[in-house]
A and B are shown apart, each in its own frame.
Chain A
Amino acid sequence: MMRATPRFEDVEVGLELPPLVKGPLTTAHLMRWSASMENWHKIHYDRTFAQEHDHLPDLLINGSFKQQFVLQFLKDWAGPKGWPWKSSFQFRAMNKVGETLTVWGRVTGKREMKGYGLVDIDTGVTNEHGVESTPGKAVVVLPYRDGPALPYPFVAEAGA
């Protein structure tokens, strides 16, 4: 759920964004996600195939599923007056069915533009053991306290 949009001036480098927790992610969650986007890759729902054919430790939580969580995390923090502009990440480790995942973010930089501010964020996804699987970076656009509304659709200013 979207929060009230922070104002650029109120965000500080080092700020920890409110985490987003998902899980435990069961086989039903994986099946439901795969069906919703019509992905039939067996490593997400056929345990025999995943373990015996592809030699995986168990069913895997879809990378595409995790990227939804990252974008929700950014969208919810940006709120209706902000904009989750950019997000990138790498799937560096597998997450197995049954895990609980937490999306985290930390502000690493701020850049002032003419009409809005840009907030640089390190993001990640950890499981209940604290193992990081999805390190990434993002840019969220925030309005100034007394500034104009963000352009929507969002098209960045030159130099952004």
Chain B
Amino acid sequence: MTMLTPEILAYVGVSAATEFACDPVEQGAVRRYAQAIMDEDPNYGPDAPTDTPWGGPIAPPLFVNHAIRRPLGAPDIVQERAKDPHFDGTGAPSGGLPPIEPLKGFAVLNGGAEFELYRYARHGERVQVTQRYADITEKTSSKGSMILVTVEAEIRTAENELLLRARRTLIRRPA
């Protein structure tokens, strides 16, 4: 029996309004990110060489893939669900895409991704993200059935310069 209902499939093609990251590409955030991924490339620092194609300090390749954060004053799901023993911590800002209601409560795992890079983001730039549900399919493995949700994103500067295209697969299973 399929888990893939018409109600789930109705989300295919649903897109979000373009959302701007609440912060520009900040030097401090770049430093913390670079340190977290253990890639302390001098191109990320304030003294980055300028004789490069990008001409100065940049962010790591996938920094903008995580550009959308919770702005000050936005609902805090971590606090709202602090007493829920089944809350898995997800539900963070999703770039405006509506949650797939029939999959509420399903566990989430990262199934993989495709990236196409056009240029690095520079310090101080503002970033905007447009996302859509590109596909939703069902797959059966030795561990049972799962729903595969494919999300496509285009990430651009505020001036509409394309930085990155991303296509990621989320594995959703009944918890």
Contacts and interface: CB of A to CB of B under 8 A. Distances in A.
Contacts, number: 125
A90 interface: yes
A72 B39 contact: yes
Contacts of B60: 68, 71-72
Given A86-B116, A87-B114, A153-B118, A40 B36 contact: no
B110 A22 contact: no
A89 B61 contact: no
A155 interface: yes
Interface string A58-94: 0000111101110110111000110111111111000
Nearest to B110: A63
Nearest to A65: B37
Interface in B114-157: 114-119
Contact of A36 (B33, B78, B162): B33
Nearest to B67: A37
Interface residues of B, number: 46
B38 interface: yes
A88 B53 contact: no
Contacts of A38: 66, 69-70, 92
A54 interface: yes
B90 interface: yes
B55 to A, nearest CB: 9
B53 A152 contact: yes
Contact of A89 (B29, B38, B89, B112): B112
B30 to A, nearest CB: 10
A85 B107 contact: no
Contacts of A42: 87-89
A107 interface: no
A89 B88 contact: no
A83 B40 CA distance: 19
A35 B92 CA distance: 12
A41 B78 CA distance: 10
Nearest to A74: B61
A134 B108 CA distance: 18
9 interchain residue pairs of minimum CB distance: A63-B110, A153-B119, A90-B112, A152-B53, A40-B89, A36-B36, A88-B114, A37-B66, A68-B37
